[in-house]
Chains A and B, each alone.
Chain A
Amino acid sequence: DGGITQSPKYLFRKEGQNVTLSCEQNLNHDAMYWYRQDPGQGLRLIYYSQIVNDFQKGDIAEGYSVSREKKESFPLTVTSAQKNPTAFYLCASKGGRFTGELFFGEGSRLTVL
């Protein structure tokens, strides 16, 4: 079945460690996104990519990094520079430019101890 796969679902890390969240899609979508969800904050955009080898910062990019080497993959690295990394992270992809519909993964819950 076509869709977005995020892994891992749950991740625990010690403070100061970098961690990479995986996001893979087989929908042949050009655009991919990473959002962070915190209680009472809604979804905040971290990074998005409109095409392979290109990505743009969202509203809260500090402390995060991404790559887009393949159309199917858009991994997110949470670096030690991110001051409050514990959160729920959602990856999404979008098909045609004018449809606007995002397809979301099931999310990754990162807890930094």
Chain B
Amino acid sequence: AQTVTQSQPEMSVQEAETVTLSCTYDTSENNYYLFWYKQPPSRQMILVIRQEAYKQQNATENRFSVNFQKAAKSFSLKISDSQLGDTAMYFCAFMKGNRDDKIIFGKGTRLHILP
């Protein structure tokens, strides 16, 4: 069975700093998808960034980027120039690349951006 582990329950950084959130996963699959989702205080979940395992290039979305290390089964999220609006819970998620649509999540990291 696949598992997703986020080892940092809570983090705080100053506004404009760069922060990295960690995620590791366990799978025997070769093809899969990884995601970072954000849940702000409003509790409305939104997708931040997505990575396909077969792509070697790390995904980037504006200030958000990932460091995908397939051999190490690591998928960290880097937020550059952090903003107050980045304050949220961040969840790492995994989906197999076959016909199964099951998506599992880690326990989340609560990120506080301090003014």
Which residue numbers of A lie inside 8 Å of B, CB to CB?
A: 31, 33, 35, 40-45, 48, 50, 56, 58-59, 88, 90, 92, 94, 97-102, 104, 106-107
Contacts and interface: CB of A to CB of B under 8 A. Distances in A.
Contact of B43 (A56, A98, A107): A107
Contacts, number: 57
Contacts of B93: 102
Interface in B1-37: 6, 9, 33, 35, 37
A102 B50 contact: no
Contacts of B97: 98
Contacts of B9: 40
For the complex, would chain A's binding face be called helix, strand, loop or mixed by DSSP majority?
strand
Interface residues of B, number: 25
Nearest to B6: A42
A101 B101 contact: no
A30 B21 CA distance: 31
The listed residue with most A CB atoms (<10 A of its CB), out of B6, B50, B108, is B108
A48 B107 contact: no
A56 B44 CA distance: 25
A41 to B, nearest CB: 6
Given A100-B50, A104-B44, A56 B37 contact: no
